[in-house]
Amino acid sequence: MPPTTPPAESVDRFWERPIETLSRDQWEALCDGCGKCCLHKLEDEDTGAIVGTNVACRLLDLKTARCSDYRHRRSQVPDCLRLTPRLAAQVRWLPATCAYTLRARDLPLPEWHYLISGDRDAVRRAGASVIGRAISEVVAGPLENHIVEERAIWTVDDDG
């Protein structure tokens, strides 16, 4: 994960530029570290509706909401998605608060985002993190027993 960044007033506000123009490091720095993308989702085969669960990938550190092996995650979890600017605009299961989704829609980052606040822990204090709200797939059992009711935080409607 990228290092802690100073408050927005003292840095280049790269995140306000079109996401297609960002360097790889800048793209990676957009991640607020909420961990929601690492939660399992279920898709209704008939309707295509996606519901979120509170069950995290086995690589997610539940105390920090960070991947424990980000660099090698795809070799350990083959269906782990490498998010790109193009995919950020297409993937329907990213949370509404996801910086990648927000910027793909040309929307601003939330005030608690560390690039705005300068505080990596602000995401947790804002209630936008999985810290204290998720369990590992290693102990969860059937995903159907862990569906969350907060659908609005897991998906973004076409209206934004």
Structure tokens given for 87: 């995919």
pLDDT of residue 51: 87
pLDDT of residue 95: 87
pTM: 0.82
In tens, the pLDDT along 55-110 reads: 999 999 999 999 999 999 999 999 999 999 999 989 888 888 999 999 999 999 99
8 A C-beta contact, residue 97 and residue 153: yes
Compute the half-sphere exposure of residue 126: CA atoms within 13 Å on the CB side of its CA. Answer: 18
Average pLDDT, the chain: 87
The single-letter code of the amino acid at 10 is S
8 A C-beta contact, residue 112 and residue 122: yes
Confidence category of residue 11, pLDDT binned at 50, 70, 90: low
Alpha-carbon span 135 to 35, nearest angstrom: 12
In tens, the pLDDT along 107-133 reads: 999 999 999 999 999 999 999 999 999
